[in-house]
């Protein structure tokens, strides 16, 4: 039996297992559990691109979207929206939803499906022009087209696939019929294992929260919530560290002496290393908050502050932007100043250079 890890072991484990040696795009997605979270904000690039640049050899901003039509991936909702493998997607469909459509809404939705079938590949503007459904209030109080809302709902329910994006807008086609998984508990166990593969090591509270989030993507199996959590705890390795129960995949050893390079990495706010804010505070001792939707006057670190990882320590943050073709990076530090360790300044400059190449920008 391996020795009980301490917090430093868990921190190295978290960094090393997620920031693996860069590989191909599909191999990287598989290593991330078959799911990459997406976000539309581009500051300085979208979250999916900022996540993949550390894990895909030679990756450039926009590569996923450019290659998407040729890749065995689909856009879909898992615990949040992103890109999933067919194997992962099949575990969640046919999906029921918390919000049930009435007969009138389904009549409108069937008209949308018929129009998508007629078009073959359907842009929302084409569907709206054909059906003339008009505007509707969306969930956050703004205005959108009813056709667009119906397309989104049909996609979530598994009736539509996303073929590609045109200038950021999803283009749809009819999805094939889904076969229910023969063993729902087995499917939920597999989905839970995806989360652990992606975000381990996990404190018990985070493991519970993530498994609860699974049922946004597999609402039809709500009754399996408690047994899925209990079964996950039984099959995972675990240890109690500084009063907190931690879990990780069976067979992994957080104490094995993970190699952490002397490297700086600017991480996306949704990168697996920093995604779980509870885990973040336990591992690094300070609170990181995503402030893009916080009023400017109340922001502490910036609109889209990127956590700054030095070796296995998140020591600060950076705000990056491209202005007049040049990358500008402004850093802040939890300690109030940059580390004086030998090699940090050069490592930061190297990371800024990598970011510039990724963005197709110049370094000032």
pLDDT at position 143, please? 59
Number of separate domains in the chain: 3
Q: Is residue 255 part of a domain?
A: no
Q: Is residue 1 part of a domain?
A: no
Q: Is residue 278 part of a domain?
A: yes
Task: Write out 228-294 in H/E/C secondary structure.
Answer: HHHHHHHHCEEEEECCEEEEECCCCCCCCCCCCCCCEEECCCCCCCCCCHHHHHHHHCCCCCCCCCC
Coil vs helix vs strand at 337: coil
Domain that holds residue 31: 7-92+180-248
165 and 191 housed in the same domain: no
- Those residues with Cβ within 8 angstroms of residue 245's Cβ, 6 or more apart along the chain or in another chain: 203, 204, 238, 239
**Domain final position from 117, 151, 174:** 174
Q: Is residue 258 part of a domain?
A: no
115 and 147 housed in the same domain: yes
pLDDT at position 139, please? 53
Q: In whole angstroms, how large is the CA radius of gyration of the chain?
A: 22
CATH of the domain at 165: 1.10.10
Q: Are 44 and 36 in contact (CB under 8 A)?
A: no
116 and 85 housed in the same domain: no
Q: Is residue 319 part of a domain?
A: yes
The residue assigned the tokens 């991480």 is 267
**Domain final position from 191, 215, 248:** 248
Residues in the chain with pLDDT < 70? Answer: 1, 134-143
85 and 210 housed in the same domain: yes
273 and 142 housed in the same domain: no
pLDDT at position 363, please? 82
166 and 128 housed in the same domain: yes
48 and 150 housed in the same domain: no
16 and 78 housed in the same domain: yes
Rounded CA separation 346/337 (Å): 16
The secondary structure element, H or E, covering residue 143 is: strand 143-145
Q: Is residue 256 part of a domain?
A: no
pLDDT at position 132, please? 81
Q: Are 51 and 268 in contact (CB under 8 A)?
A: yes
- Those residues with Cβ within 8 angstroms of residue 18's Cβ, 6 or more apart along the chain or in another chain: 32, 198, 271, 272, 273
277 and 354 housed in the same domain: yes
Rounded CA separation 186/215 (Å): 14
78 and 196 housed in the same domain: yes
158 and 186 housed in the same domain: no
The torsion angle over the Cα atoms of residues 78, 57, 279 and 5, rounded to 10 degrees, is 120
pLDDT at position 187, please? 97
333 and 293 housed in the same domain: yes
Q: Is residue 253 part of a domain?
A: no
**Domain final position from 117, 147, 174:** 174
Q: Is residue 117 part of a domain?
A: yes
């Amino acid at each position: 039996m391996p020795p009980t890890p301490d917090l430093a072991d868990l921190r190295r484990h978290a960094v090393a297992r997620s920031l693996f040696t860069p590989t191909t795009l599909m191999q990287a997605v598989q290593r991330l559990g078959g799911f990459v979270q997406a976000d539309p904000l581009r500051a300085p690039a979208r979250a999916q691109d900022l996540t993949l640049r550390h894990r895909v050899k030679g990756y450039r901003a926009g590569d996923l979207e450019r290659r998407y039509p040729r890749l065995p991936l689909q856009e879909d909702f898992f615990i949040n929206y992103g890109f999933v493998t067919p194997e992962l997607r099949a575990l969640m469909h046919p999906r029921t939803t918390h919000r049930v459509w009435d007969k009138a809404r389904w009549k409108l939705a069937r008209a949308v499906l018929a129009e998508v079938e007629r078009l073959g590949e359907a842009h929302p503007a084409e569907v709206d022009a054909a059906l003339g459904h008009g505007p509707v209030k969306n969930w956050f109080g703004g205005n959108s087209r009813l056709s667009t809302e119906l397309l989104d709902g049909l996609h979530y329910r598994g009736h539509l696939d996303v073929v590609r994006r045109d200038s950021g807008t999803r283009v749809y086609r009819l999805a094939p019929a889904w076969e229910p998984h023969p063993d729902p508990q087995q499917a939920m166990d597999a989905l839970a294992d995806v989360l652990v593969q992606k975000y381990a090591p996990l404190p018990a509270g985070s493991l519970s929260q993530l498994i609860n989030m699974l049922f946004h993507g597999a609402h039809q199996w709500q009754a399996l919530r408690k047994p899925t959590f209990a079964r996950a705890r039984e099959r995972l390795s675990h240890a109690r560290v500084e009063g907190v129960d931690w879990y990780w995949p069976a067979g992994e050893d957080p104490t094995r002496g993970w190699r952490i390079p002397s490297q700086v990495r600017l991480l996306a706010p949704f990168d697996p290393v920093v995604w779980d804010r509870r885990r973040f505070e336990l591992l690094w001792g300070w609170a990181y908050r995503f402030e893009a939707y916080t009023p400017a006057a109340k922001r502490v670190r910036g609109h889209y502050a990127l956590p700054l990882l030095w070796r296995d320590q998140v020591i600060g943050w950076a705000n990056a932007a491209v202005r007049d073709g040049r990358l500008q990076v402004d850093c802040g530090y939890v300690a109030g100043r940059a580390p004086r360790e030998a090699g940090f300044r050069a490592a930061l400059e190297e990371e800024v250079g990598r970011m510039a190449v990724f963005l197709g920008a110049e370094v000032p």
